[in-house]
Amino acid sequence: MNKFENYGLDPDLLKGIKETGFEKATPIQEKTIPFLLGHERDLIALAQTGTGKTAAFGLPILQKIDTNQKRPQALILCPTRELCLQIATEMEKYSKFMHHIKIAAIYGGANIETQIGQLKRGAQIVVGTPGRMNDIIRRRKIDLSGIKTVVLDEADEMLNMGFQEDLNTILSETPESKNTCLFSATMSKEVANIAMDYMKDPLEIAVGKKNVGSKNINHEFYLASSRDKYAVLKRILDLNPEIYGIIFCRTRMDTKNTADALMKDGYDVDALHGDLSHAQRESVMSKFRHRNLQVLVATDVAARGLDVTDLTHILHYNLPEELELYTHRSGRTGRKDNIGTSIAIIGPKEIGRIHRLEKVIEAKFTEQKIPDSKDILKSRVVGLAGRIENIKADHKVLNPLMDIFFAKLEGLEKDEIIQRFVTLELQRFIDFYKNEPSLKAPDPSHRNERPSDRGGFNRGGGKFRKDKKWSSNKFDRKKGPGSFSGGKKRD
């Protein structure tokens, strides 16, 4: 799909592309052009300069311009005068054979009246630097009500240069219904915040340098039918009481649903996605940073705002649409000398994607058996023993209390008391898993199985909800069926 002729572009535009000397699309163009032409959805593209990103956004913009309308329809914001001129010149070249396309370049250090004149003559595409654009908006010399596409080019640079305020003002003047494309070489916290404040459920893609993952990561996958997916997720959480990690989902809706279901089932999780207000996001991230929350369920974009990298586990509840993003996700674990684990829960049709990923990350995945009740109870009991091993008893305070304690339990052997203690700690798991069947991985050759992108939330989780004990508040959530290590603070 790297031939420009395959994208359904206007013949005059194709002529311009040919004359510019482009023969085939670059990787970023291959990814963005069909997407921008075919979808009304926001886009985040992680790409360095020199990858061909101007044509990546420029060609779809040119294709979509309604030349009968003589007002701005596309606004491209970029950090510097040089880049502004370069983008405008490139787009002039592509559109050389198209009729009635007008492009205005709006940047500081040049005569503002001349630029206003270009707008007045009916420019449909405006390429601008944030400071000068803001100036023109303040003077009410531009009509932004017809803007259908906004491009934030080199968004990281614009923010580094202190254009945050200008961007806020400009973006708030553009129509709600527009689509926004953000191009950035890096995805800093600030860029992620812009993305979350101004973009709706963006698709994130990445091209450029091969991002080979850390050698300290174990890559694992569980094969699950879509019906069992949520139950498998819970089993993985139950198997890892000390987990401190992120569960990645592909969309806000999946993120919300997964987090809600887990919270209802008593797990120590919260959701992070773009539907939350800035203040809500900050609050969730702060809880997680301070380890007052064990697991976050997040979209890729939302998690970008989070500067936490010392995670024990990364869980891919959905594999990312773009496999390159897998390395961004899993790079948050296995830092320094720690071994991290990156776990994908996949459907049988996704085995091929795992093989492709192995090539991207230059590492092998190991398939894991879905844990059964024995595995989980064993792991919990080992975890409990570990906690007992590590805790120091305060004999001074406890000694007088122990007399009362043993008096109350007179007649019980010590062994029996210990077993009852263990039962008390693990009861929710014992009760829950007692009747839970083993979950079998589907046969990968079974091609009729739908990809397990959306886990059903009625398996296992529903059981907890039915059992009032687990959903009622009288139980400490942290110790609920879904609890992990049992303590609130885990550092």
Rounded Cα distance, 345 and 381, in Å: 25
Torsion of CA 122, 63, 39, 149, to 10 degrees: -20
Q: How far is the CB of 186 from ligand AMP (least distance, A)?
A: 15
Dihedral sign of CA atoms 184, 185, 186, 190 in order: negative
Cα–Cα separations (whole angstroms), residue 470 to 233, 266, 477, 483: 18, 7, 8, 11
Residue 115: both structure tokens together: 């630029």
CB of 13 to ligand AMP, least distance (A): 13
Q: How many residues does the chain have?
A: 491
Give the nearest distance from C-beta 158 to ligand AMP in angstroms.
16
CA 64 to chain CA centroid, Å, is 29
Q: Nearest approach, Cβ of 168 to ligand AMP (angstroms)?
A: 26
CB 192 within 8 A of CB 421: no
Between 87 and 344, name the residue whose CB sits nearer to ligand AMP.
87
Provide the minimum distance between the beta carbon of 74 and ligand AMP in the complex, in angstroms, as a whole number.
16
Per-position DSSP letters for 277-290, written without gaps between them: -HHHHHHHHHHHHT
Taking alpha carbons only, the member of 193, 218, 162, 261 closest to residue 459 is 261
Smaller CB separation from ligand AMP, 47 or 293: 47
- Please, which residue, 78 or 376, has the CB nearer to ligand AMP? 78
No. of H helices and E strands in the chain?
20, 14
Q: Which is nearer to ligand AMP, 54 or 330 (CB)?
A: 54
Measured CA to CA, the distance from residue 255 to residue 201 in angstroms comes to 12
Rounded least distance, CB 77 to ligand AMP, Å: 15
- Toward ligand AMP, which CB reaches closer, 150 or 293? 150
**Are residues 142 and 136 in contact, defined by beta-carbon separation less than 8 angstroms?**
yes
**What is the radius of gyration, based on Cα positions, of the chain?**
27
CB of 483 to ligand AMP, least distance (A): 50
Q: Which is nearer to ligand AMP, 29 or 174 (CB)?
A: 29
The least distance separating ligand AMP from the CB of residue 207, rounded to whole angstroms, comes to 11
- Output the CA torsion sign for 60, 62, 68, 69: positive
The residues that touch ligand AMP, with contacts defined as CB under 6 A, are 22, 25-26, 29, 49-55
User: Dihedral of CA 231/234/239/240: which sign?
Assistant: positive
For residues 486 and 472, what is the distance between their CA atoms, to the nearest angstrom? 17
Beta-strand runs (E) in 299-367: 313-316, 340-346, 365-367
- N- to C-terminal Cα distance for the chain? 50
Nearer to ligand AMP (CB atom), residue 58 or residue 461:
58
Report the nearest approach of ligand AMP to the CB of residue 24 (Å): 6
Give whichever of 56 and 159 is closer to ligand AMP, judged by the CB atom.
56
CB of 157 to ligand AMP, least distance (A): 13
Nearer to ligand AMP, 55 or 346 (CB): 55
Q: Least distance in Å: CB of 30 to ligand AMP?
A: 9
| Cβ within 8 Å of residue 287, ≥6 positions away | 270, 293
* 471 contacts: CB under 8 Å, gap ≥ 6: 264, 266, 464, 465
Nearer to ligand AMP, 151 or 319 (CB): 151
**Residue 52 or residue 461: which is nearer to ligand AMP going by CB?**
52
d(CA 241, CA 428): 14
Nearer to ligand AMP, 17 or 439 (CB): 17
In angstroms, rounded to a whole number, what is the distance separating the alpha carbons of residues 237 and 313? 10
- Minimum CB–partner distance for residue 58 and ligand AMP (Å): 8
- The residue assigned the tokens 């250090």 is 109
